[in-house]
Amino acid sequence: MKKLKSYTRIWSVEKIIYAINDFRLPFPVTFNQMTWFVLSLLVVMLLGNLPPLSLIDGALLKYVGVPLLLTWFMSKKSFDGKKPYGFLKSVVTYYFRPKMTYAGKAVKLQKQTFDNSITSVRSEVHGLSD
């Protein structure tokens, strides 16, 4: 049984498809899985002539196997408790957001060149003036 951290998760029930029109599916499919399959199929169709996908000869493997593999990966695997899409999104936002913050706002430091600081220290130590 799955532990619930909050009651809001109870109301977010994932919809499952058991049949399409009169065709009964061999296993239930969620809307999320169907979306990933269609998107990965479109990507395979658009990028089918590029090197990694162009090396696959079988049409069944290329247009069904690769999208099924991507769908399984995106719906079943998790990194740090997140789905791959959420994990990738958090990694990208981490690289683009400011690293030094104070109270949620970016901290801007004054720029100093390393060479100027060395000459000012030398002049203070040796009593030299420029």
Each residue's pLDDT tens digit, 49-77? 888 888 888 888 999 999 999 888 888 77
Helix (H) or strand (E) holding 6, with range, is none
The model's pLDDT over 92-118, given as tens digits with 9 standing for 90+, comes to: 888 888 777 777 777 776 664 444 445
81/36 Cα distance (integer angstroms)? 19
Average of per-residue pLDDT values in the chain: 78
Residue spans per domain, the chain: 8-98
The model's pLDDT over 75-98, given as tens digits with 9 standing for 90+, comes to: 877 777 777 778 888 888 888 887
As beta bridge partners, residue 79 has 82
Q: Are 56 and 62 in contact (CB under 8 A)?
A: yes
The pLDDT > 70 percentage for the chain reads 78
50/110 Cα distance (integer angstroms)? 47
Q: Are 44 and 67 in contact (CB under 8 A)?
A: yes
3-state secondary structure of 105: strand
Please count the other Cβ atoms lying within 10 Å of the Cβ belonging to residue 37.
Answer: 19
The model's pLDDT over 3-31, given as tens digits with 9 standing for 90+, comes to: 666 777 677 778 899 998 899 989 899 88
Half-sphere exposure of 66 (CA within 13 A, CB side): 21
Tokens of 24: 């009964």
Confidence of residue 1 (pLDDT cuts 50, 70, 90): low
Helix (H) or strand (E) holding 29, with range, is strand 23-30
Of 29, 33, 34, 35, the residue nearest 17 (C-alpha): 29
pLDDT of the residue at 67:
92
Q: What is the model's pTM?
A: 0.57
